[in-house]
């Protein structure tokens, strides 16, 4: 039997901080283009979601209805007013 060497802990790369995930997103590779990115600590996710929905409505020239559930666990204390 061959003894296995203990595995080394893997170092995770720090994500690149970008001012807006929506602006960093690439057409036809939406998820893949932002998976290695992170928003700044003061990022307003609600504002970005609303901005994205407004852009969809503008492009389609139709109203956009969307259900936005729990985005991130850190957002549980975010107030929705003021976006």
pTM: 0.61
Q: Summarize pLDDT for 2-39 with one digit per residue, the tens.
A: 667 767 777 777 889 999 999 999 999 999 999 999 99
The C-alpha angle with vertex 10 and arms to 31 and 35, in degrees rounded to 5, equals: 10
- With bands split at pLDDT 50, 70 and 90, how would you rate the model's confidence at 82? very low
How many CA atoms does the CB half-sphere of 4 hold within 13 Å?
3
pLDDT more than 70, % of the chain = 77
Find where tokens 């203990």 sit: 6
Comparison of pLDDT for 33 and 72, the residue scoring more: 33
What pLDDT is attached to residue 73?
53
| CB contact set of 40 (below 8 Å; sequence gap of 6+) | 17, 19
Q: How big is the CA angle at 80 (ends 28 and 33), to the nearest 5 degrees?
A: 20
Q: Would you state the pLDDT for residue 71?
A: 55
């Amino acid at each position: 039997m061959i003894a296995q060497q203990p595995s080394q802990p893997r170092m995770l790369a720090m994500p690149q901080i970008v001012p807006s995930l929506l602006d960093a997103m690439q057409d036809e590779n939406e998820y893949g283009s932002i998976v290695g990115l992170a928003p700044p600590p003061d990022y307003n996710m609600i504002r970005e979601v609303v901005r994205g929905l407004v852009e969809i409505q503008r492009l389609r020239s139709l109203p956009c209805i969307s259900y936005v559930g729990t985005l991130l666990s850190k957002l549980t204390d975010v107030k929705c007013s003021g976006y």
